[in-house]
């Protein structure tokens, strides 16, 4: 199984949920190797279960309203449908290994004991937004070891790797349920309501970031007032809707810098009509103008 490309923008449905085919219908799992110090993983959510481990540097992930900092050697399980993102801590090269898999890979059919006793209860427990895999505990070390083994099996594809990966991921699910882990235990009704509103507003931004967007349009997507939209963004994402739009546009522009597109075309595609403003904001965020960044990166 080749490493998959992480793209959480071009593959969203009208609600902003990822609609990527994980692996194949016969083996619904994908593995990723992300250099988040260069390209952060933007806010998104998906039906699949996910585990990632920090291979180098340190990462900050926000799951719903909870912020978790992970250092080299640590990992995390993210439950289905959870709004989350990942960024690198400043000044560090941060690389992640991750696997996303459809719950039926480990749970089997809906009427199986594997689904009803193990996988479904984990998914249905809305208090578990995430479970941190602590490498300082014995079960945490075992979970991390099984995850890295499963990840490598997916990449190398030795004979029978599908059976081994399913077994390892199933063992991880069992371990997560059997042992005490630091995880979110008090997701209030208000927090969950805010997350659902944010999903709707983010879906509009992620699908139409190249167009002119107003705060009124963003708020209207969730059928709330402008002031309530501002509160939702600031309480969960720690930024305003307009600042988020600008940040997201710049991240998409950075992702296009490796293509052969002209810089003016990149700016236009990402919603910047004024090229001088685009250059100023790009340099403020990344330390170099678009043309300087491209020259340095090519070298």
Per-residue model confidence as pLDDT tens digits over 217-263: 999 999 999 999 999 999 888 899 999 999 999 999 998 998 889 99
* Rounded average pLDDT over 17-23: 60
Averaged pLDDT score across all residues of the chain: 89
Tell me how far apart the alpha carbons of residues 119 and 103 are, in angstroms, rounded to a whole number.
7
Residue 184 has pLDDT above 60, yes or no: no
Write down all domains in the chain, each with its CATH number in brackets.
29-178 (2.60.120.280), 189-298 (1.10.10.60)
If we measure between CA atoms, which residue out of 32, 46, 162, 36 comes closest to residue 98?
A: 32
Residues 6+ apart with CB under 8 A from 50: 77, 78, 98, 99, 100, 101
């Amino acid at each position: 199984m080749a490493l998959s490309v992480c793209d959480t923008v071009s593959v969203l449905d009208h609600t902003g949920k990822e609609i990527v085919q994980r692996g194949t219908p016969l083996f619904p799992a994908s593995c990723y190797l992300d250099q988040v110090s260069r390209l952060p993983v933007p806010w998104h959510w998906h039906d699949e279960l996910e585990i990632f481990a920090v291979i180098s540097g340190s990462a900050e992930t926000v799951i719903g309203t909870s912020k978790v900092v992970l250092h080299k050697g640590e990992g995390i399980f993210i439950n289905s449908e959870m709004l989350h993102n990942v960024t690198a801590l400043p000044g560090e090269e941060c690389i992640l290994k991750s696997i996303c898999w459809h719950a039926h890979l480990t749970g089997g059919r809906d009427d199986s004991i594997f689904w009803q006793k193990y996988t479904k209860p984990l998914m249905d427990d809305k208090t578990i937004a995430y479970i941190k895999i602590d490498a300082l505990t014995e079960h945490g070390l075992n979970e991390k070891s099984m995850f890295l083994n499963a990840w490598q099996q997916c990449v190398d594809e030795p004979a029978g790797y599908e059976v081994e990966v399913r077994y390892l991921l199933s063992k991880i699910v069992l371990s997560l349920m059997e042992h005490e882990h630091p995880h979110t235990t008090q997701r209030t009704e208000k927090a969950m309501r805010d997350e659902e509103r944010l999903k709707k507003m983010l879906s509009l931004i992620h699908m139409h970031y190249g167009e002119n967007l107003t705060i009124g349009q963003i708020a209207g997507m969730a059928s709330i007032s402008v002031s309530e939209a501002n509160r939702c963004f600031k309480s969960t994402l720690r930024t305003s809707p307009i600042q988020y739009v600008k940040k997201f546009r710049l991240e998409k522009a950075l992702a296009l810098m490796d293509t052969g597109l002209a810089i003016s075309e990149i700016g236009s595609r990402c919603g910047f009509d004024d090229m001088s403003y685009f250059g100023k904001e790009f340099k403020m965020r990344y330390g170099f103008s678009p043309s300087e960044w491209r020259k340095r990166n090519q070298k």
